[in-house]
Structure 1
Amino acid sequence: GDLQGVMDKLDYLQDLGVEVVYFNPLFVSPSNHKYDIQDYDYIDPHYGKIVDDGGEVLPNGVTDNSQATKYKKRTTGLKNLEASNELFIKLVEELHRRGMKVILDGVFNHCGSFNKWMDRERIYEGEEDYEPGAYVSADSPYRSYFRFFKEGPENWPYNANYDGWWGHDTLPKLNYEDSVKLENYILYIGRKWVSPPYNVDGWRLDVAADLGRSNEYNHEFWQKFRRAVKDANPNALILAEHYGDPSDWLKGDEWDTVMNYDAFMEPVTWFLTGMEKHSDEAREELLGNIDNFIGSMAHHMSNMLTPSLQVAMNELSNHDHSRFLTRTNHMVGRVEHLGPEAANEYVNKAVMREAVVMQMTWVGAPTVYYGDEAGVCGFTDPDNRRTYPWGHEDQELIAFHKEAIRIHKEHPALKTGSLKILGGEENILSYARFKGHDRIIVVINNRSERAEVKVPVWEAEIPIKCRMKRLLYSYKDGYTTEYEEYLVEDGEVVANMGPHSALVLGMRNEEDHDWLYIL
């Protein structure tokens, strides 16, 4: 619900195994999604803290009604804004005390039409200490912050005839090329929130490749942004939302990494569900298509160097797409056509568990969208933003996430290890992650029937003959962590996999006494 709610649930997040909290936009905004930012300097009191509702007794000498109204609005608003920033500082301090980090959402390509710079809704017009917005006056000091398409006082106001992101008039695109003042301010914001007293640990950059009017300026700006942020906090992460080849931005002087749609979310979704990530399309020919999966992964992973890949945001769901659990029902459509209940129907939790195993073992940083671990369903935005089901959680799915997260955190191979595909056929996949003595093998059976899978574990430098122990087995009706031994003969392990299953095995190497694990 709000930042205090997050504070109250930090024990839950820590018990789940969360190490970093990424927030969608928190800055002042009139919307629920808050990608139409009104003020970059303050946390929105609806998420932060409302200490004053404006009903205070006026000070001596303030009697005029209009004057009183303005006084209330100004002083009440400032109190709430400052209190919200203070609460955010406390939240970050508590996260850091627990050894956790926090990433903010940076929406710098566009702002909101409510922003004082534009003031299309005229909420700042005539207010003390506020200059007229670009929509209110052609002489506004913020005029150059935006591109208007008509000139001349006879056309003023211009009826929203300005450049909006993807044509949205509530999201006026920021015009950096014509305003050094705007550029400097956003660079200041980039520094401000990663510096004391806020001390956030990084930025996620919304529609980062869209910023500016040219590719040349886009790169110029992000180079400046990186210098500003890294000078203030050298360890701050710069992670961009991006679709397509990000290699031009990942040369070490702009972004650190990206939200990993192309080299994780999309290939995994097509392979396990045959669904497009919005649930807008079903493609039977991609369901279980091992050639497409391996080819897509090889192609898109090649566009990133290893350091960027290792910290790329590997999500199954997020605020822009349908919930992964809903994709397992193979229903094509959106909530306005199918209704909200359809998102919950015919889902396959076994397939969801397969996806979680892949998420926790593939190259990159596993990122869980709130509620995915508790069984939350939903079609694409806005249905994907349902509230967390406190008191109605899928406890088994939460417990499974804890086991998978634990395995990820305990093994260096899953953080910085190499990757090798060991085998695959229709709806069957096996791969290795390895680093030093830490070796991990992942086996997935996405078929709706049992399958005997032979895995050439010798390719991951597993001994030709040895024993392995089962650590985790996910199957159609649940999962188990009960101990069981398997034999490796002639460098292969034979796994009898149930429908929609994933297997976790471990091996004792008698020569160096290290445990090796097979998933």
Structure 2
Amino acid sequence: MATDPAAEGVLFDPSRRADVNVVEGPETTRVILRLRLRQPEVVPRLEWRQAGWTTLPMTPAGLLGDWMVFQAVIHGADLAEPIAYRFALAGPDGERFLGARGLAPDPQEAGTFRLCPGALAPFPVLPWTQGRVFYQVFPDRFANGDPSNDPPGTTPWGGPITHGTGEQYYGGDLAGLIDRLDYLAELGVGGIYLNPIFASGSSHGYDTVDYFRIDPRLGDLDTFRALLDEAHRREIRVILDAVFNHTGTGFWAFQDVMERGAASRYKDWYFFHGFPVDVEGPNYEAWWNVASLPKLRVANPEVRAYLMGVARYWTRFGIDGWRLDVPNEIREPGFWEEFRLTVKGINPQAYVVGEIWHVEPEWLEGDRFDAVMNYPLARDALVGFYRGQGGLGATELDRALRRALLVYPEQAVLMNFNVMGSHDTSRVLTALGGGNLGDRPDPVAVRRLKALSTFLFALPGVPVIYYGDERGMLGEKGENWDAQRAPLVWEEWGEAGRELFAHFQTLIRLRRQHPALWSPVVTRLAVDDEAGLYACTRSGGGEELVVVTTRTPGPVRTVLAGVSGRYRDLITGTQLQAGGHGLEVALDGPETRLLLRE
């Protein structure tokens, strides 16, 4: 009789993309199957059938929480025909089988799973995202290229940040960004993520009043057209921030309800609890109860059609993708699936990134987003590791990295938006102990940032630089005081700024040049909690790299057993030769070394 596998330490979900995945490649298509076990003595294998039964070993891929993940890859299957498969589990008490009917000692009793043609949504990796680094721009704080459009009461550039920073303007605009595109090209970035640029009632732009108009303080449609053309001429892609969960109170539909009350044809565009509308003590649903951000009723067909029209308009205009604000707060069935089909139907290469803060693999099944803002990897795990906070040692770093690699399907791992910090968090250099706005960056924190960024740029995914991080900007996110959104002072570099700019230039160049850094393959070599050291290999595109990092200040030496051959440090050019005991690597921590096998 078949039994419940989860009750016996076996997990497999055929509806989960991370467990059953089809990856299309230029030469072959792979079917990746993953099984989770809590039974260390059990050895699994995969049995699959089209013309006849074939047996494949399953290799351990790492721990996902308390579960060991095993993986098998089917090459050369005919995906126009169904694939039948099951798992065989060999243990001390004999062999059992896992199939569609559960866990049983007899394969016929366990049954088989079936992967049918078209069962999984196409989920291609966008080739242009690989090897590319993004740069996030908060428009009002980046550069002022046209003072004539500055709002009344604009703070002088570099002036003090005030409380209620959403009401404070510095005059940054799209013309300023155009002026600085050569700077970004010199840095080497290949993509810009723009915080909201549509007409709004604040400097942050998340309270949209017109989705079809560029905010006049930033420019106009011609300015944005020039930005896209000039960026594309430099091979820099541009994605826009979209806020579909809520609008500002100045949005035309909300204004109509304020004027007409229950007689307004737009009263069902929002969640009103009574009339007349009261914005002082809001009698409507709003994002986190912020009165200026009334929540849209996305289930309303008119609202949905309007928002899809917004997506069509700007995608046809020529943008390269979307970053979607708080998409997890829009739970209407089919909304994000329709959004993806709408955007991809116009531009199949459009990059769709969801602002998801936690590990939530359901958003990356191939039917909604290409990527999420991968805060748990860099902002949480890496900052905690290099800062030495929250008990995050090398073992915990390895677990966090395995989780980032195994909880999502391979395509999402390769496209995830790997942010160290953003407009919503403290500056990464501040989080690493570098100080606050106005301070001189602490040299140890600068070393931590260099080590962290080098390690992050060596991992799968799309690295992201928040504007000014490459110049050593500091700033703490407060309760109502966003120092992390301070204007970038172009005239001041400082020693840390020059050092970090050159460092990020090098990382971006290496990222473009070495396809091993785009690969999903990360093989652990060493985990040393005492030395605060972690090492792994990155292989792909005919290359193999050894990545070694430590957070410990001062000299650290390690010997990586089983590593042979000759290596070149990609940053310093130093040559290393493995000996009989392995490859000896010396670090001056905090530091990360990238070693290419020659």
TM-score interval, smaller chain: 0.7 to 0.9
Distance 1:95 1:363 in 2: 25
- Counting only pairs closer than 5 Å after superposition, residues 271-286 of structure 1 correspond to structure 2 as 271-274=385-388, 283=390, 285-286=391-392
User: Equivalents in 1 of 2:439, 2:492: separation in Å?
Assistant: 18
Q: What is the Cα deviation at residue 321 of structure 1?
A: 0.4
Give, in whole Å, the separation in 1 of the partners of 2:444 and 2:257.
49
Q: Which residue of 2 aligns with 1:111?
A: 247
Deviation at 1:158, TM superposition (A): 8.6
Aligned to 1:352: 449
Quote the offset at 1:356 in angstroms: 1.2
Report the equivalent of 1:424: 527
How many Å separate the matches in 2 of 1:457 and 1:406?
Answer: 29
Residue 445 of structure 1 aligns to a residue whose secondary structure is: strand
**CA distance 1:169–1:157, change in 2 (3 Å):** closer
Could you say which residue in structure 2 is the equivalent of 1:14?
185
Partner deviation per Cα, 1:133-170 (whole Å, 9 max, x = no partner): 3465221121111111236x6x8789421000111111
Aligned to 2:574: 484
Alpha-carbon offset, residue 267 of structure 1: 1.0
Match of 1:450, SS? Answer: strand
Partner deviation per Cα, 1:384-422 (whole Å, 9 max, x = no partner):
111112121211210111111111110111113411121
Listed one character per residue, the Cα deviations across residues 261-308 of structure 1 (whole Å, up to 9, x for unaligned) are 123331111111145xxxxxxx3x22xx11211112222432211111
User: 2:501 aligned with 1:398, yes or no?
Assistant: yes
Distance in 2 between residues matched to 1:171 and 1:416, nearest whole Å: 41
Change (3 A) 1:304 1:96: same
For residue 575 of structure 2, what is the amino acid of its counterpart? Answer: E
Equivalent pair of 1:134/1:143 in contact (CA under 8 Å): no
TM superposition shift of 1:342: 5.8
Q: Relative to 1, partners in 2 of residues 1:35 and 1:347: Cα closer, same or farther, differing over 3 Å?
A: farther
Aligned to 1:361: 458
User: Does the Cα contact within 8 Å between 1:328 and 1:352 map onto a contact in 2?
Assistant: yes
Q: Give SS of 1:494's match.
A: strand
Partners of 1:183 and 1:224 lie apart in 2 by 10
> Closer, same or farther in 2 for the Cα pair 1:436/1:19, shift >3 Å?
closer
Letter in 2 for 1:209: N
User: 2-side partners of 1:484 and 1:274: how far apart?
Assistant: 29
Q: Determine if the alignment matches structure 1 residue 25 to structure 2 residue 129.
A: no
Query: Hey, what does 1:162 align to over in structure 2?
Result: 284
- 1:379 alignment partner in structure 2: 476
Unaligned ranges ≥5, structure 1: 49-83, 120-131, 276-282, 332-338, 459-463, 473-480, 509-519
1:325 aligns with 2:447: no
Given that 2:547 and 2:595 are in contact with CA atoms closer than 8 Å, whether structure 1 keeps it comes out as no
Matched residue, 2:570: 471
- The letter of the residue matching 2:304 is E
Q: TM-score by structure 2 length? A: 0.67
Name the SS for the 2:337 alignment partner.
helix
Distance in 2 (CA, whole Å) between partners of 1:204 and 1:343 is: 33
Alignment length (residue pairs)? 419
Are positions 1:240 and 2:354 aligned together? yes
Decide whether the 8 Å contact of 1:263 with 1:301 is kept in 2. no
Q: For residues 438-462 of structure 1, what are the alpha-carbon distances to aligned partners after superposition, in whole Å with 9 as ceiling and x for unaligned?
A: 111111121023211112463xxxx
TM-aligned CA deviation for residue 498 of structure 1: 1.4
Where relative contact order (Cα < 8 A, 6+ residues apart) is larger, the structure is: 2
User: Tell me, what secondary structure is at the counterpart of 1:422?
Assistant: strand
Secondary structure, in 3 states, of the residue corresponding to 1:161? Answer: coil
1:450 match: 555
2:85 alignment partner in structure 1:
none
Mean Cα displacement is larger for which, 35-44 or 238-247? 238-247
Amino acid at match of 1:397: L
Matched, 1:259 2:377: no
Give the Cα separation in 1 of the matches to 2:447 and 2:208: 40
User: Partner of 2:263: helix, strand, or coil?
Assistant: coil
The answer on whether the counterparts of 2:516 and 2:538 sit within 8 Å (CA) in structure 1 is: yes
Say if 1:156 and 1:300 are closer, same or farther in 2 by CA, change over 3 A.
closer
1:243 Cα deviation after fit: 2.3
Cα pair 1:163 1:173 within 8 Å, conserved: yes
Tell me if structure 1 keeps the 8 A contact 2:434–2:474: no
| TM-score under structure 1 length normalisation | 0.77
Report the Cα distance in structure 1 between the residues aligned to 2:323 and 2:244, rounded to whole angstroms: 11
SS state at 1:498 partner: strand
Are the structure 2 counterparts of residues 452 and 3 from structure 1 closer, same or farther at C-alpha, using a change threshold of 3 Å? same
**Displacement, 1:436?**
4.0
Partner SS, residue 452 of structure 1? strand
Question: Residue 46 of structure 1: SS of its match in structure 2?
Answer: coil
- What displacement does 1:174 show? 0.6
Please tell me the residue identity of whatever aligns with 1:325. L
Alignment of 1:297 onto 2:401: yes
CA gap 1:347/1:471 in 2 versus in 1, 3 angstroms:
closer
Distance 1:457 1:139 in 2: 76
- Go from structure 1 to structure 2 and tell me whether the alpha carbon gap of 1:41 and 1:437 turns closer, same or farther (over 3 Å shift): same
1:199-218 C-alpha deviation (Å, 9 max, x unpaired): 0010000011111xxx4x2x
Identify the residue that residue 514 of structure 1 maps to in structure 2: none
Aligned to 2:538: 433
- Deviations 1:327-363, CA, capped at 9 Å, x for gaps: 12187xxxxxxx7446956762110100110121111
> Which residue in the other structure is 2:267 paired with?
143
Report the Cα distance in structure 2 between the residues aligned to 1:442 and 1:157, rounded to whole angstroms. 54
C-alpha contact 1:441 1:457 (8 A) present in aligned 2: no
2:306 is aligned with 1:185: yes
Q: Percent identity?
A: 30
Alpha-carbon spacing, 1:457–1:169, altered in 2? closer, same or farther (3 Å) = farther
Unaligned residue ranges in structure 2 (runs of 5+): 1-171
Contact 1:374 1:389 (C-alpha < 8 Å) held by counterparts: no
CA distance in 2, matches of 1:433, 1:139: 63
8 Å CA contact retained: 2:452, 2:592: no
Q: Which residue of 1 aligns with 2:115?
A: none
1:172 maps to a residue whose letter is: P
Give the alignment's Cα RMSD to 1 decimal.
2.1
Q: Match of 2:56?
A: none
Asked whether the 8 Å contact 1:194–1:233 carries over to 2, the reply is: yes
Letter in 2 for 1:45: P
- Report 1:93-104 matches (<5 A): 93-104=229-240
Q: Deviations over 1:483-516 (max 9, x none)?
A: 43221113721112113122233342xxxxxxxx
> If each structure's strand is expressed as a fraction of its own residues, which one has the higher value?
2
Amino acid across the alignment from 1:34: G
Retained in 1: the 8 A contact 2:404–2:413? no
Match of 1:61 in 2: none
Question: What is the CA distance between 1:96 and its match in structure 2?
Answer: 1.4
